[in-house]
Structure 1
Amino acid sequence: MSDTDPPLILWGRCRSGRRWFWTANEVGGSDAHGWADTPDEASRQANTATVQLAAGRYANIRVLHGVATSKLRQLNVAKRQSKASKAKTGKVIPPANPIGYLYTVKPGRYDLDDQTWIPGRIVSLPIAKKTAKRIYYLRPRGPFEWEPGYVDRQELERHGSVRAAHWLLLFAEPPEIPKPAAAPDLKALKAAMAAAHPDLGGDDDAFIAAREQYLRAKNCTIKEGLAA
């Protein structure tokens, strides 16, 4: 179509649930669309939009209801994609002034590299909302990400603690963190094992006993570290 040719404008209407959808489209140009309560009102609005698209020019105008069906389908696809994108990338932000907190314990553990004890700590989870049956809270999903969860309010108030999703144990009040048992001194046990070696003046029975004591302590430390 050359610049001197009159524009081609198509308009149409189609049902959209309980309402009527209309569109007016200048081929190769702008378009307009909307919804109306009746088919006649949809036609009137489409005609008005067609005149506005023509903008005082002589135009070829054709009624083609298929353009409305096609346009409505495009809008619905774009709407679904937008919702999916928001659900995928949207971030849950903790409230600036939460109405309270639930508490959980991040357990302590032994560091397997240098055999030091990393103590446990209490983690506070902000409460977003309370209802008669549930308490809604936020739990960390990553360094800067949160996800919503909820617990049974009556069970929490009855027992003071409740098991939530992912077997997370939550408390109504900050719990006491149990103190760890004294970590075995692996260096001392290893030195005692070496000193009991027959080549260094020890005897077989003493070396075997010292070696068993060292291996038991080492295996216990590794299991505690893996379980944490």
Structure 2
Amino acid sequence: MTYTDPPLIFWGRCRSGRRWFWTANEHDGEQIHGWADTPDEASRQANAAALKLAAGRYANVRVQHGIATQKLKQLNAAKRQAKTPKPKRQQTMVTPPANPIGYLYAVEPGRYDLDDLTWIPGKVVSFPITRTTARRVYYLRPRGPFEWEPGYVDRQELERHGTVRGARWLQLFAEAPEIPKPKSTPGLKELKGAMAAAHPDRGGTDEAFIAARERYLKAFRRVA
């Protein structure tokens, strides 16, 4: 006749908000848990679960409420982890193809370089098209000095209107647009030079200097 040690079964209970949590588990074996409205009901259900785990065998049943506290912490941690939003997938940086199937175009507007007060004219920039489907045109757009990320636009809208709104409120064109030439107005650098030349210390008058200074400040505020 072979003698085996009786199974060791623990059960316990602890408060869980306004209710009571209980658990019963066989050492290195099956585990059962649940909730009850009162501590007495939690004890009754935990003891019944311990008898169920014993399954008619002679068992060594012990009350150890700490196992209920530990199990409840594990369940709450798993619940919080399930609610934590997954981090957004980082956009994959790609390299522009050597021979794209086409281009989308946009206008980079002109601007003043406030360091030396010179006007940098606008220009047309191109974005390589990587592939097209019946509904979309996929292209690459710059994200940094040497970084490109994929994007797409509605193909039907692009073909219907010749232009479509892209990412970051950028207007994209199917054909390279023409940039209208700006009117020949003096830039900040020229206006600053005229203001200096009109200074009374350089032979100008107070009225001429004030007028030149006003023209410069008005242009500077417009640029800023």
User: 1:123 is matched with which residue?
Assistant: 125
Show the counterpart of 2:205: 202
Q: 1:154 matched to which residue of 2?
A: 156
RMSD: 2.7
Larger of the two Rg values belongs to structure: 2
Hey, what's the Cα distance between the residues in 2 that align with 1:200 and 1:190?
12
* Contact 1:104 1:171 (C-alpha < 8 Å) held by counterparts: yes
Residue 116 of structure 2 aligns to a residue whose secondary structure is: coil
Cα distance between partner residues in 2 of 1:146 and 1:174? 20
Change beyond 3 A, Cα 1:142–1:208 = closer
How far the C-alpha of 1:163 sits from its partner, in A, is 0.8
Aligned residue for 1:183, secondary structure, equals: coil
Is the Cα–Cα contact under 8 Å of residues 192 and 210 in structure 1 kept in the other structure?
no
What SS does the aligned partner of 2:99 have? Answer: coil
1:194 counterpart letter in structure 2: H
Higher helix share: 1
Measure the CA separation in 1 of the matches of 2:197 and 2:162.
Answer: 48
- Equivalent position of 2:143 in the other structure: 141
1:111 to 110, 113, 137: 113
SS at match of 1:91: coil
- 1:91 corresponds in structure 2 to 93
- 1:187–1:208 CA distance, 2 compared to 1 (3 A): closer
Distance 1:194 1:207 in 2: 5
Q: Secondary structure at the match of 1:139?
A: strand
TM-score by length of 1: 0.51
Separation of aligned partners in 2, 1:163 and 1:201: 52
Partners of 2:91 and 2:153 in 1: how far apart? 25
Cα distance, 1:209–1:88 mapped onto 2, change above 3 Å = closer
Distance 2:173 2:155 in 1: 11
> Compared with structure 1, are the counterparts of its residues 170 and 146 closer, same or farther at alpha carbon in structure 2 (3 Å cutoff)?
same
**Which residue of the partner structure matches residue 179 of structure 2?**
177
Post-superposition offset of 1:176? 0.9
1:35-91 per-position Cα deviation (integer Å, ceiling 9, x unaligned): xxxxxxxxxxxxxxxxxxxxxxxxxxxxxxxxxxxxxxxxxxxxxxxxx9xx65953
Where do 5+ consecutive residues of structure 1 fail to align? 1-83, 224-228
Question: How many angstroms does 1:200 deviate by?
Answer: 6.3
CA–CA distance in structure 2, aligned partners of residues 97 and 116 of structure 1: 36
Identity of aligned residues (%): 66
Unaligned runs of 5+ in 2: 1-86
For residue 146 of structure 1, what is the amino acid of its counterpart?
Answer: W
Q: CA deviation at 1:110?
A: 1.2
Query: What CA deviation, in whole Å up to 9, does each residue of 1:195-217 have, x standing for no partner?
Result: 3x8x96735x5554343223213
Using a 3 Å threshold, how does the CA distance of structure 1 residues 162 and 188 change in structure 2: closer, same or farther?
same
1:211/1:124 CA distance change after superposition, 3 Å: closer
Q: Which moved more, 1:186-195 or 1:101-110?
A: 186-195
Conservation of the 8 A alpha-carbon contact between 2:128 and 2:139? yes
**C-alpha distance in 1 between matches for 2:145 and 2:220:** 33
Instruction: Report the secondary structure of 1:217's partner residue.
Output: helix
**Number of equivalences:** 134
Alpha carbons of structure 1 residues 99 and 200: separation in structure 2 relative to 1, 3 Å: closer
